[in-house]
């Protein structure tokens, strides 16, 4: 581990930067803030990465409808090449916002009703009837807001070379799936995080859209949002592996096979960069503002950022909150060997940030970077009734 720490220390503060307009004085101050003082001991970023055994971190900052600056630190793979702003990371549960946007685009076209019983449209598999579904039916709105009353919080993925199940096999918990069957465990209506619910949504999106889910997500969301570096392909195609980070465990060692495969595309399958994901968040901001030509209709954008269970603060694919009285959306992600986080304000300067790491301890690092940027840009503390800070995506360890 001394070798990894040495690599990080050597590379981290010689950060790779994407071509952007010259950062303003305020941007330089914000960048310096997280580079110089993180964690309980006010450690420099390089030292903090070494302490947490996080080999690489990539950050993009958005403001006023554009990616304003991006930086990357450390390495894409322990002992390997530098991380750059173009390095691909697994977005993990941040994929859910893209899934929600894909469903909402179908709804905007009149091809999907968010409040219809999903079993009325599903063909290859249906939510098994139960006393809970007799009380209230499972809907797409419920699936996307984690209020459908379904099981399976998250997914561990499949190590390279292992058999990968179909969507129906995942939903039935049938081999080679490594998670239980997705079933009702309570009546719809209350927030309970369910990646299983997002896999039901994945199947319905594909069946209603008439294309494989990765193709629909790319056509309806990734391409229109300008996410040209991103892909839903699982496993990652060979041609993209040189551009991709490897996942690392809590000791900073590469996980077996370097990166797990996630056939649960809607819940965890997106490969992207912070800058590309920032472009997606910009489309959410523009849609919420009702700008002409935005990705989503104003009604769909409002639905996306309106909590379904008000006690939880979760809309459709995104957590919602307020800081200093300003509304924002946020979501984190936890895949094997990858941790990430994001936040974007809907009004005012429309600032936001995306942080992606390739280490199992990266959530802590990402949180510290977000906090440092919040202080530097004067975002203020979360409002007293803010729910977003208490609802994060769970990590499911492999069996």
The pLDDT tens digits for 304-315 are 999 999 999 999
Sequence-distant (≥ 6) Cβ neighbours of residue 308 within 8 angstroms:
141, 142, 145, 147, 191, 314, 315, 316
Question: How much is the pLDDT for 388?
Answer: 62
Residue 187 has pLDDT above 50, yes or no: yes
Average pLDDT estimate for 137-146: 98
Do 272 and 88 contact (CB within 8 A), yes or no?
Answer: yes
Residue 29 has pLDDT above 70, yes or no: yes
- The predicted-structure confidence for 87-135, as pLDDT tens digits, reads as follows 999 999 999 999 999 999 999 999 999 999 999 999 999 999 999 999 9
Residue 53 has pLDDT above 50, yes or no: yes
- The predicted-structure confidence for 368-386, as pLDDT tens digits, reads as follows 999 999 999 999 888 877 6
Quote the pTM value.
Answer: 0.93
Q: Closest Cα partner for 295 from 101, 107, 145, 144?
A: 101
> First-to-last CA distance in the chain?
26
Residue 14 has pLDDT above 70, yes or no: no
Average pLDDT estimate for 34-53: 97
| R_g of the chain computed on alpha carbons | 20
Sequence-distant (≥ 6) Cβ neighbours of residue 135 within 8 angstroms:
187, 188
What the block records as the tokens of 213 is 């889910």
The model's confidence at residue 393, banded by pLDDT at 50, 70 and 90, is: low
Angstrom distance (rounded) from CA 139 to CA 244: 36
The model's confidence at residue 5, banded by pLDDT at 50, 70 and 90, is: very low
Residue 271 has pLDDT above 70, yes or no: yes
Question: How much is the pLDDT for 199?
Answer: 98
Residue 235 has pLDDT above 80, yes or no: yes
Angstrom distance (rounded) from CA 366 to CA 23: 21
Question: How much is the pLDDT for 384?
Answer: 79
Angstrom distance (rounded) from CA 207 to CA 125: 11
Residues in the chain: 399
The model's confidence at residue 15, banded by pLDDT at 50, 70 and 90, is: low
Question: How much is the pLDDT for 255?
Answer: 98
Residue 397 has pLDDT above 80, yes or no: no
Question: How much is the pLDDT for 8?
Answer: 43
Residue 394 has pLDDT above 90, yes or no: no
Angstrom distance (rounded) from CA 118 to CA 57: 39
Residue 165 has pLDDT above 60, yes or no: yes
Angstrom distance (rounded) from CA 368 to CA 104: 33
Angstrom distance (rounded) from CA 358 to CA 377: 26
- The predicted-structure confidence for 167-183, as pLDDT tens digits, reads as follows 999 999 999 999 999 99
Residue 20 has pLDDT above 80, yes or no: no
How large a percentage of the chain has pLDDT more than 90? 87
Report in angstroms the alpha-carbon separations of 246 from 58, 94, 202, 260, 267.
13, 18, 26, 9, 20
Question: How much is the pLDDT for 4?
Answer: 45
Question: How much is the pLDDT for 127?
Answer: 98
Mean pLDDT for the chain overall: 92
Question: How much is the pLDDT for 387?
Answer: 64
- The predicted-structure confidence for 111-124, as pLDDT tens digits, reads as follows 999 999 999 999 99
Q: Is 354 exposed, middle or buried (0-12, 13-18, 19+ CB in 10 A)?
A: buried
Residue 80 has pLDDT above 50, yes or no: yes
Angstrom distance (rounded) from CA 167 to CA 173: 10
Structural domains for the chain: 1-56 (no CATH), 87-316+377-399 (3.40.710.10)
How large a percentage of the chain has pLDDT more than 70? 91
């Amino acid at each position: 581990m001394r070798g990894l720490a040495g690599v990080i220390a050597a590379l981290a503060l010689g950060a790779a930067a994407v071509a952007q307009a010259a950062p303003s004085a305020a941007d330089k101050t914000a960048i310096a803030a997280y580079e110089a003082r993180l964690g309980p001991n006010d450690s420099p970023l390089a030292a903090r990465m070494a302490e947490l055994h996080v080999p690489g971190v990539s950050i993009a900052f958005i403001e006023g409808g554009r990616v304003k600056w991006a930086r990357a630190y450390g390495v894409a793979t322990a002992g390997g090449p530098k991380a750059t702003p173009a390095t691909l990371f697994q977005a993990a549960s941040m994929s859910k916002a893209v899934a929600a946007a894909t469903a909402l685009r179908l709804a905007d076209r009149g091809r999907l009703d968010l409040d219809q019983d999903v079993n009325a449209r599903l063909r290859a598999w249906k939510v098994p009837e139960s006393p809970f579904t007799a009380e209230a039916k499972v809907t797409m709105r419920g699936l996307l807001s984690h209020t459908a009353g379904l099981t399976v919080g998250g997914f561990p993925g499949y190590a390279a070379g292992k058999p990968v199940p179909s969507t129906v096999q995942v939903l039935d918990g049938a081999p080679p799936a490594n998670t239980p069957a997705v079933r009702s465990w309570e009546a719809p209506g209350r927030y309970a995080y369910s990646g299983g619910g997002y896999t039901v949504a994945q199947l319905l999106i594909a069946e209603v859209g008439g294309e494989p889910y990765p193709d629909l997500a790319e056509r309806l969301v990734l391409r229109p949002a300008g996410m040209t570096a991103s892909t839903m392909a699982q496993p990652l195609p060979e041609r993209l592996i040189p551009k991709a980070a490897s996942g690392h465990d809590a000791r900073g060692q590469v996980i077996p096979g370097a990166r797990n495969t996630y056939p649960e595309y809607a819940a965890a399958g997106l490969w992207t960069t912070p800058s590309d994901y920032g472009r997606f968040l910009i489309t959410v901001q523009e849609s919420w503002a009702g700008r002409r030509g935005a990705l989503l209709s104003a009604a769909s954008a409002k639905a996306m950022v309106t909590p379904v269970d008000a006690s939880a603060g979760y809309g459709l694919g995104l957590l919602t909150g307020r800081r200093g009285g300003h509304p924002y959306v946020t979501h984190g992600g936890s895949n094997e060997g990858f941790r990430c986080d994001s936040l974007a304000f809907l009004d005012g300067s429309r600032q936001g940030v995306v942080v992606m790491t390739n280490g199992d301890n990266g959530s802590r690092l990402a949180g510290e970077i977000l906090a440092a940027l919040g202080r530097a840009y004067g975002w203020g503390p979360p409002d007293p009734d803010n729910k977003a800070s208490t609802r994060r995506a769970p990590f499911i360890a492999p069996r």
